[in-house]
Amino acid sequence: MSDWHLQSVSQLRQSLDTRQVGAVELARHFLGRIEASPLNAFIDVRPELTLEQATLADKRLSSGERGPLLGLPIAHKDIFVTRGWRSTAGSRMLADYVSPFDATVVERLSVAGAVCLGKTNCDEFAMGSSNEHSYFGAVRNPWDHSAVPGGSSGGSAAAVAAGLAPLATGTDTGGSVRQPAAMCGVTGIKPTYGRVSRFGMIAFASSLDQGGAFGASATDCAALLGPMVGFDPRDATSLQQPAEDFSSGMRASPIPADRSAGVSESTPLAGLRIGVPREFFGEGLAPDVERIVRSGLRVLESLGAVLLEVTLPRTRLAIPAYYVIAPAEASSNLSRFDGVRYGHRAQDYTDLRDLYRKSRAEGFGAEVRRRIMVGTYVLSHGYYDAYYLQAQKLRRLIAEDFATAFTQVDVIGGPVSPTAAWNLGEIVDDPVRNYLADIYTLGASLAGLPGLSMPAGFNDAHRPVGLQLIGPRFAESRLLAVADRFQNATDWHLRRPPE
């Protein structure tokens, strides 16, 4: 069968379990597609390691072992260190680094039997909204090769959309799973902060970074996310929250028990209250994106949900708050890359200070250097109180806005990004426009809330547009269930880009 890349995860699971296909054959199929792809979605592919893992998976399957991910190919964003593969964070600073150990996410998925296809391209140290800030070159959008795929997890999103991998991991600091999922027409979920271990995740902003999952559908994402979550004693930010089977959880009703009466197959969301933030539909939202998002909300309404207007009054403050807090944490996290202890080392230097300066100037790209400078400035003496401390106060107020909204509604729905994917190079030199692309995703990240993006249509240029769902803490199963009901009623998630 030559169209394994068109199969859903559940279909591939059945084919593996019934031995219609072996893990090695499946891995070879996807490796061949990666080799032929013009998208630049992967940084490092090592077929010998992939086939070694696939051979072990076949032995486990032959012995009668079964599991949701056993034998399934998967791609990892190159922010997760992976034993045997290069782990570069999309940067020259780590261009030749091969990790001697696995990140917790990689380790858990490996134990579950997933077969690693390779490491996907990303914005350098996860800093960017377009995947153009990678030392290894920009990733191209599978739907239009002249467009960006979104970032920073653009390589993972593009890989799933183009059928280079059925599943992929990503990270979301300010929207870096949800935004590329929307722009590539796939489903992506960022769980509650602290649910997925950050151990072995190359740090950008420690209080915001969170691992996430990409798949064609909510069902696929649920299968991947399950093994990823759970407490990890090696991560000081890991929550003492038990592991969860999201696949079974999403099959349950997302409606609170006190409002579940009257739910039927024709109205599976009857009683669900969806908040529509007034601030998400104002100035700056492209008309074609608004039309598609409102159409998607009407689909949810037709399934029985009730749409209620809510207000998140500090939405416009999310960008200045985030772009103080995140660069401040980045400047601290990236200080270790000095050419002595870690990372690229300059060849010609006169003394230790010159070594530091040249190594960091050569190793870091322009966007990373910009954010390090901003972060160092806001943490410096005389500016900490005026900028960093005020940004943290705003963060608390933004979280309170969401908490107030969730006393009135069960989930929040709206756009992921103000526009669909823009052209490569169009705004790469305009950081403010790049930052504005995250305005609808930053709030949930600052508040540590789970968020999901699902395909909802195409704009006038036939580029994908996503519908975002945000939930209260630990509401991942609810978000996945709502997305699943939406995808049972629509076929946007089944659309595939032209070969």
Catalytic site positions: 77, 152, 176
Q: Is 393 exposed, middle or buried (0-12, 13-18, 19+ CB in 10 A)?
A: exposed
The CA-atom distances, in angstroms, between 195 and each of 235, 246, 270 are 11, 13, 29
Whole-number Å distance between alpha carbons of 192 and 338: 33
CB 452 within 8 A of CB 480: yes
Whole-number Å distance between alpha carbons of 282 and 317: 15
* Two structure tokens written together for 204: 């950008």
CB atoms within 10 A of CB 126: 31
